[in-house]
Structure 1
């Protein structure tokens, strides 16, 4: 199985294991809140109005027909870079339907604990069991059903990082120009791409949401940058994805739903890993805790997934 590239170390060269302030929330004076809100608004204007590199059909169009972005297994990509949904849907479906094991990580995109958790547990395990799990990244933020407000512990930039990762995971794949015409069964970004993109951002989380940095990570993992911009800059808070003539895929709506999910599951610590709907292991303030078995060991996690998968298939 193709390995997921694993970046290690913090952006400044320090070891994130020694960081103890990943969950510390600070009181912010009103004028700084206004500045932060202005920053978020300027980001929306920036990604809407600034010129972008043309990435129609994603970065895979720069490769020869039948090839894929380096590091991406062929089984995750369409047969040709410009393959349409109709062509994709006509392909014979030879894979048997199987029961995949739920695996989920609840994180904050600018949290050092999330970086350690992904790189030392989730990614090494996923190299072995990505085809046997139903994996998703969920995000932790302050949100309620009674208000449209969303607050992220590490500020508005973290909310943007969360939205970018959620948008990348939910974009149509292969890319299309008209999301509103897509059937619900249209595939979304393969996990090996979306998780690689998430790790690329979180590996240098202090740089989120620098435009050039986000663009570089999107290019590396074959994420259509223009579509990513459109999703992250949507200010519509409706939980839709452009289907049936509804509003287009919205990063704000995705983050709201994700944060509500984390809250409903009482996942309040970044990073909390859940396997088969139960807490598997938590990394908090630089240390592993509340782990099942030797849960911080990626091989133990992979072995448990293999066991559960064999039982159910």
Structure 2
């Protein structure tokens, strides 16, 4: 998903959403791939192994840097150069641009931790029956999909304002688990 144009567009919208609801939300990313024990990374990514690496880099960045605003700034940086997603040099540069040391991320990427984060992420997407990138869930309920450059299945809308309202409503009802 790190190399999916729909995920890139979706995460740009979500970055603005998180800025408004950071204090009441917990955002995680999960990646769509096909589990495959013989694949290099334990799964086959739609855009190849380089996308799997990009997914692992993003998961590891989020794992070692718990500030979700920093994470979104990292994603926005990564997405500035789509063709470099998955590159060690680019991931390191973006990490430094958002004021984070890349060494802990790199250690995660090149360890069983990174691989396990990726496999768990793929399993989570499968459990949620998320088949397209980007599928947004709020409190475990499918909220909206962006696929093929279009938003759909978004009964409450798909603008920043619409997502903020949905998250605020979910928080008022019972706290929030944003996926």
1:254 to 2:120 alignment: no
TM-score by length of 2: 0.89
SS state at 2:45 partner: coil
Matched residue, 1:308:
170
Choose from 15, 19, 37 the match for 1:127. 19
Contact 2:60–2:105 (8 Å) recurs in 1: yes
For the pair 1:195 / 2:80, whether they are aligned, the reply is no
Residues 266 and 144 (structure 1 numbering): CA distance in 2 closer, same or farther, change over 3 Å? Answer: farther
Deviation, structure 1 residue 258: 0.3
What is the match of residue 213 of structure 1?
Answer: 90
Q: Could you say which residue in structure 2 is the equivalent of 1:289? A: 152
Q: Report 1:165-180 matches (<5 A).
A: 165-171=58-64
* Distance (Å, rounded) in 1 between the aligned partners of 2:81 and 2:48: 16
Within the alignment, does 1:149 sit opposite 2:42 as a pair?
yes
Q: TM-score, normalization: structure 1?
A: 0.52
Stretches of 4+ moved more than 3 A in 1? Answer: 144-148
Tell me, what secondary structure is at the counterpart of 2:144? strand
CA RMSD for the aligned pairs? Answer: 2.0
CA distance in 2: counterparts of 1:303 and 1:141, whole angstroms? 30
Question: Compared with structure 1, are the counterparts of its residues 212 and 145 closer, same or farther at alpha carbon in structure 2 (3 Å cutoff)?
Answer: closer
For residue 274 of structure 1, give the secondary structure of its aligned residue in structure 2: strand
Which residues in structure 2 correspond to 1:1-313 (within 5 Å)?
108-119=1-12, 121-143=13-35, 149-171=42-64, 189-234=66-111, 236=112, 250-294=113-157, 296-312=158-174
SS in 2 for 1:131: helix
The count of corresponding residues between Structure 1 and Structure 2 is: 174
Give the deviation of 1:140 after TM superposition. Answer: 0.8
8 Å CA contact 2:15–2:69 kept in 1: the answer is no
The structure with the largest alpha-carbon Rg is 1
Cα drift, residue 146 of structure 1: 9.8
Structure with bigger helix share is 2
Distance in 1 (CA, whole Å) between partners of 2:173 and 2:139 is 13
Supply the distance in 2 between the matched residues of 1:257 and 1:207 (Cα, whole angstroms). 25
Deviation at 1:145, TM superposition (A): 7.8
SS in 1 for 2:51: helix
**Which secondary structure state, in structure 1, belongs to the residue aligned with residue 99 of structure 2?**
coil
Question: Are 2:17 and 2:163, in contact at CA under 8 Å, matched by a contact in 1?
Answer: yes
CA distance, structure 2, for counterparts of residue 311 and residue 113 of structure 1: 30
Q: Secondary structure at the match of 1:130?
A: helix
- Once the two structures are overlaid, the 10-residue window that deviates more, 147-156 or 192-201, is 147-156
What is the deviation of 1:134? 1.8
